[in-house]
Amino acid sequence: MEKSLKSEKQSLKSDAVSSFLFHDRVVVDTDFSVVQSLHDRGWFGTVVKQKLELSLCEALYLLERGKIVVFDVVKKPLTVTGFIRKARLVDLRFPTRFKVYSDIRSRGYITKEALKFGADFSVYERGTNPQESHSKWLLFAVSSDDSFNWREFSAMNRVAHSVKKELLVGILDAHADVTYYSIAWQRP
């Protein structure tokens, strides 16, 4: 509870960059040097027409750290709790996806959305520049309460293999700890 209140106060820091929530994205539309700096410091988001488009996970990660302030459609600043509530309306798996995203990001890995690959995230090796190399892993975020059958598991593995990436499954347990399993494709 104390951490949550602290996070919400941090999200309203005066030196934070203003951004706006648009359904499943958060857009930073300010001086381009600020946009470029925010992007380049941690490879957050995608620069589109001199604006920075952040995924919901990227935006919450930056919001919790006081780097951005997110405004809703009526230009009201969102607290961390308010942002999570709105993100869940777009993505029911958001809490699990965010915890896994935040955990792997805090371990020093560049992590990007990987919807185009059919996964939750693509993950780059530490120290890698995403503009100069490809990601190493496709990461699927799951809760320990989730279940999936062998066909779904095989589909995850096939997707990763078909795009020449390693499969990584991040499992969020009931204590909010994430355990990662790397799964390799073996031909008999």
- Summarize the confidence of residues 146-158 as an average pLDDT: 84
* pLDDT score of 18 more than 50: yes
User: Residue 183 above 90 pLDDT?
Assistant: no
- Domains in the chain with CATH codes: 2-90 (3.40.1170.20), 94-183 (3.40.1350.10)
pLDDT tens, residue by residue, 71-124: 998 999 999 999 999 999 999 999 999 999 999 999 999 999 998 888 999 999
Say which of 49, 165, 175, 180 is annotated catalytic. 165
* Torsions phi, psi for 111 (to 5 deg): -130, 125
The confidence score (pLDDT) of residue 163 equals 87
Task: Please write down the HEC assignment for all residues of 37-95.
Answer: HHHHHHCCCEEECCEEEEEHHHHHHHHHCCCEEEECCCCCECCHHHHHHHHHHHCCCHH
Query: Which of the residues 6, 13, 134, 181 is marked catalytic?
Result: 134
pLDDT cut 70: percent of the chain above it = 91
User: Residue 3 pLDDT more than 70?
Assistant: no
Asked which of 36-40, 59-63, 78-82 is least confident by mean pLDDT, the reply is 36-40
Does 165 participate in catalysis according to the annotation?
yes
16, pLDDT greater than 50 = yes
Q: Active site includes 124?
A: yes
- Catalytically annotated residue among 13, 124, 161, 180: 124
pLDDT averaged over the chain? 88
Query: Is there a catalytic annotation at residue 134?
Result: yes
